[in-house]
Amino acid sequence: MPSVQYLAGFHCPAGGLAAHGAQLIPWKGNVYVSIGKSVYEYSMEKKCMLAVYEFATEIWCIELDTKTQQLYILCGQSGIYLLQWDEKGRLLKEPMSATSTGGVNIFFIGVEFCCLLDPSICYFTVCHEVLVAVSMNQNKWEIRLFNIRSSDHKGNYPSAIREMEISVKPTPGCRDICKGNSLPPVLLCVSLWKKEELAVDFHEFTIEPSLFTFLFGIDLAMVNSPVVICGFPDGQVVFFPLKTVPSPKSDFTDNQTKSSTRLPLLYNLEQPVVFLGATKAQISDGENNPWTNSSNKLFCDCILLLGQGGLMVTITAGNKAEGGTYEFREYHLKAPVKSAFCSGPNLYYSTCSDIQCVVIPQPGADLQNRILSYSSYNIPMIRAMSPISCCSEGDKEFLALSDKGKLMLFILKQSEDTAQRARLSCSQAGQRIKELLSQIASVSERASPLKSLIEQRNHSLLNLNKVVAISQAVLTSRGANMPVRCKVKPLWTRRLQQDCLVASCILENKTDFILESGWNLCIHLSTEGSGTSYSFSVMNLQPEENMEFIFPLVTEESEHLEFPIKITFALVYSLQELDKSSFQDPQSSLFSHTQSSICLPLQEHIIDILQCLRLKPHTGQPFPTTFHCMSPLDPVEAFLRSSGGAECKPGQPSAISKAICNAESNYAVTLVASVRVASVILHRALKKEDSDTSLCSLLFHWLLSAELPLSQNPVEVHGMTPNGREFRLRVGEVSAYDLSPANPIPATEVQIISPHLDALACLHLAVIRRLQILAEKCNQDGCISPEINLDSIQKQVIARESLLKEVKSLLDNLCVRKDLSFESSAKKRLLCLYKELRDPGLLLL
C-alpha cells in the first residue's frame, strides 16, 4: 500500500467537488489547485498556503505555461484570464482588492486580467506559444487558435489565426452528457521525438518517429509540426497540426488567413473521453525501469485513449518487418473513470470508490482477455490526480484531491509497483494469494466485532436523538398542548377484604415517537409534612396511545389519608440504557453516575377530599347517637361545662381526658359549618343559557363531579369520608343583609354537617379552596361584583380577632394549670366565646 501524507484542506463549495470539479498542476515545489471560484497556490516545501486568487465566476480549467510561468484560468460564462508574476513573485497587474488572513494573501481578480473574453469557451490548452480554445456552437465543436505573442497593449488577443470545427455525434451512452455539457473536452499535445532535441514543456510528449509518421503522416513529420489530439464528450477523438502543411517554411505563429477546416477523426470511443496520454510501454531486455532514464524520459511509443465507461484504446506502431503501420487495441477497465495519469508502463486511474493501477500491454503482445487485471489501493473519493516525480530509487509520487477538498501526497514504493508484481512466478503468486486470503480472514475477524459495536452505537445514537426530540417537544409546550400529559382520577377498590383508595393515572403520548425502554414515569405525592414517590417503567407506548398506572394515595409517613394531596408527575429517561447496549466496559461509559438521567417535568394535580367521598342515598334520618338522654353538647362545650377539679393520680387519666372522652361518646348534636358565595359569581361561571338546572344543583355537580351522576339534581347529599366519617352537604339560596349598603346580596350557601370535627374541618377547607378558585376565575373574566359594606366586614374581622385573642389567653391559662380547677367566671366566658365563634360564615366575591 502507498504511504499517504495529508497536506492541506481547501474550502469546498456546496455539493462537493463532484458537482463543481477541480484540477491540480504541480510545478517546481508548488501546486496550483482550482476549486469553485478560487485558485490556491500551495508550497510543498514549506507545507503552507502561499496565496489565494478569487474570481467572479466558477473556474472550469487552468493551464500553466512552464516556459513563461504564466497561469491561464478559464472562468465559466466569462473567458480566459491570465496571471503573470515578476521575479519576486508579485502580480504584474494590480488586483481589484487584496486582503490577508492568517498570513495568506487573498487577491480578488477582476476583468482587467481577462485576455480572451468569450463566454462560449468550455476548455483550452497552451502549447508552443499557441492558445487552443474549444467551444460548442449549434451542435458543432469549434476549435480556434490564438497566437499568445500577438496580444495588444492591454494583453487581449486579437482574432483567431485558424478555426476548425467538427459536428457533434453523440452515441446513446453520451447523449445526456453532451446535452448537459457536464464533461469538458480533453486536449493533448504531442510532437516528433529527435535525439538532438529534448522538450521540457509540461504538456508536451514526444512520440517515437515511426508511430508519429504512421499515425499523422509524413508531411507533418517533415515540417516537424506538433499535433494536438482532442477528445470530446461524445466519444470522438480528432487531431490537427499546429503548423500548416502547404507552407513548410512558414512558422505556425505567423498570422494566417482565417479559414474553417474540418478535422480528421482518429477514433470514436462511443463514450465520453476523460483522459488522453502518451507513455513508453515497451520494456527492453535488462531494463528495470526505463522511465527513470532521463534520455528516454520523453520518448513515448504508445498513445492512450481512455473513456469514462472504462474503455481503454492503445495506439502503437505495428511490426516494421511487415511494412510498418499502427494498430488500435481495446481493453476494458473498471468504471466509471474520474481521472487518470501514466507513469511508465503503468496507468493509474481513480473511480468513485478506489484508485487502481493496470499494466499497459506491450506493443505486439497477443492477449486473449481484453479485461485487464488491476491492483487496488483502497483510496476512495478521489476527484483529481497528477504525478510529481519519479525518484532515482524508483519510488513514485503523485498528488490527489478528494471530493471533500483534501490535498494528499501518495508515495508508491518500487517494491509495491504493479510492474514488479506482474512478473511473479506461479508459485510466488499462489503463495501471495494464500497470504492475502489469510490477511482477509484476519481483517474480517477483527472487523466483525467492530461492525457490531458500530451498529450498537448507531442504535444508541438513534435512541438518543429520539430522547432529545421528545425532550424538546415537552419542554417547549405547557398546559393542554403538552405532547405527553397525565390524567388523574381517584378510585375506590377492594384489596385483602378492605376498601382502599387508589389513584388512576392515564399517560397520553401525543408525540411522533415511541416511548421505549428507558423511560420511567415518576410520581411524587406530598401532603402537609409527609410525602412518597412511585416510579413506573414505560414500555413501548406508541404515538396516540395511552397507558394506565395505578398507585395508592396513602404516604409512607402516615397510615391515614391527609388532604389535600399534591401529585407531581415527571418523565425520566435513564441514560444508562444507552450504555447497556453500546458499552460493555463500565469504564467506557459516556455518562457519569451522578448525572445519568434526563428529567422532564409534566403536570401537577391536587386531589382534595371532595374527589374521594363515598355518597349514599339520602334517607333523611339524623346521625345516630349513643345516648339520647344526654344533653346535645359538642366535645368542647362538654369539656368547658365539666367541673372536675381533683388532681389526677399516677396511672389514672386526668379529669380533662375524662371530660373530653365522655363528651365525645355522649355527643348527639351535629357540627355545622357554612360557606356563602354570591349568586352572580355562580351564574357567570356555571350557568348555561339553555339550561334550566338550578344554581344549587349546578354547584353540587361542580363540587362532586366525579361522584354525583348527571341525572340527579339534589340539594343535599349524605356520605362518608375516606376515613369513615359521616357527613352531609346541603346547598340553599340565602340573602346576606349585613354586607350591602342598599339591598341584600343574593347568595348560595353550602352547609357542611358532621358529628366529627376533623371531617367538618377538612370538608370546610376543601369547599373554601374550590370556591376561591371559582371566584378568581370570574374576576379574571371581568365579572361585576355586587357592592358590599366594607366597613361592616372590617368590624366583623376585628371582632373575631379580638375574640380569638381572648380565647387564646384563657386556653394558655388552662394549659398552665393542667386541670379544671380555675375560676368559674373564666369557664363561663370561654364557653360564650366558643359559641360565638362556632358557626362562622364566609362570603366570596
Residue 686 · residue 703 · CB < 8 Å: no
Instruction: Name the architecture of domain 450-579+595-607.
Output: Sandwich (2.60)
Pick the closest to residue 338 from 182, 170, 143 (CA basis).
182
Pick the closest to residue 16 from 407, 405, 385, 381 (CA basis).
405
The pTM of the full predicted model, rounded to 2 decimals, is: 0.52
Pick the closest to residue 328 from 358, 370, 272 (CA basis).
370
Q: Phi-psi category of 284—alpha, beta or left, where left has phi over 0 and alpha has psi -120 to 50?
A: beta
Q: CA angle at residue 27 from 25 to 31, to 5 degrees? A: 55
Rounded Cα distance, 557 and 533, in Å: 12
pLDDT computed for residue 307 by the predictor? 94
The C-alpha cell that represents 31 in the structure block: 501546486
Rounded Cα distance, 249 and 272, in Å: 38
Rounded Cα distance, 362 and 375, in Å: 18
pLDDT computed for residue 2 by the predictor? 76
Residue 276 · residue 349 · CB < 8 Å: no
332-350: b or e for each residue (b if 16 or more CB lie within 10 Å)?
Answer: ebbeebbbbbbbbbbbbbb
Q: Which residues contact 303 (CB under 8 A, 6 or more apart)?
A: 190, 207, 211, 215, 229, 276, 277, 278, 314, 315, 316
As a whole number of Å, the CA-based R_g of the chain is: 50
User: N- to C-terminal Cα distance for the chain?
Assistant: 90
Q: Measured between alpha carbons, how far is residue 26 from residues 209, 291, 790 in Å?
A: 29, 19, 97
The residue assigned the cell 508548488 is: 30
Residue 163: strand pairing partners: 144, 260
The residue assigned the cell 438513534 is: 462
What would you measure as the largest C-alpha separation in the chain, in angstroms? 153
Helix axes 757-780, 679-686, angle to 10 degrees: 70
104-108 and 48-54 strand pairing: parallel
Amino acid at 701: H
Range list of H helices, 605-654: 635-641
171-198: b or e for each residue (b if 16 or more CB lie within 10 Å)?
Answer: eebbeebbeeeebbbbbbbbbbbeeeee
Amino acid at 782: G
Residue 285: strand pairing partners: none
Which helix (H) or strand (E) segment holds residue 428: the answer is helix 426-475
Pick the closest to residue 44 from 27, 28, 29, 64 (CA basis).
29
DSSP 138: S
Pick the closest to residue 12 from 35, 41, 42, 37 (CA basis).
35
Q: Would you list the domain boundaries of the chain? A: 1-119+381-413, 181-244+262-283+296-376, 450-579+595-607, 614-620+668-843
Rounded Cα distance, 206 and 212, in Å: 9
pLDDT computed for residue 682 by the predictor? 83
pLDDT computed for residue 570 by the predictor? 93
For the chain (length 845 residues), average pLDDT per consecutive 10?
Answer: 86 72 87 93 91 93 88 92 89 91 91 91 91 90 88 72 88 61 86 70 75 88 90 93 64 47 86 92 59 53 93 83 74 90 89 88 72 84 82 72 90 62 60 81 83 86 89 84 89 82 92 89 87 90 92 73 89 78 45 67 90 72 41 49 44 46 49 85 73 79 72 79 88 79 80 86 89 81 65 72 72 58 56 54 44
Which helix (H) or strand (E) segment holds residue 727: the answer is strand 726-736
Pick the closest to residue 42 from 295, 385, 408, 370 (CA basis).
408
pLDDT computed for residue 365 by the predictor? 67
209-239: b or e for each residue (b if 16 or more CB lie within 10 Å)?
Answer: ebbbbbbbeeebbebebbbbbbbbbbbbbbb
The count of C-alpha atoms lying within 13 angstroms of the C-alpha of 386, restricted to the half-sphere facing its C-beta, is 16
Q: Measured between alpha carbons, how far is residue 141 from residues 234, 725, 812 in Å?
A: 10, 104, 115
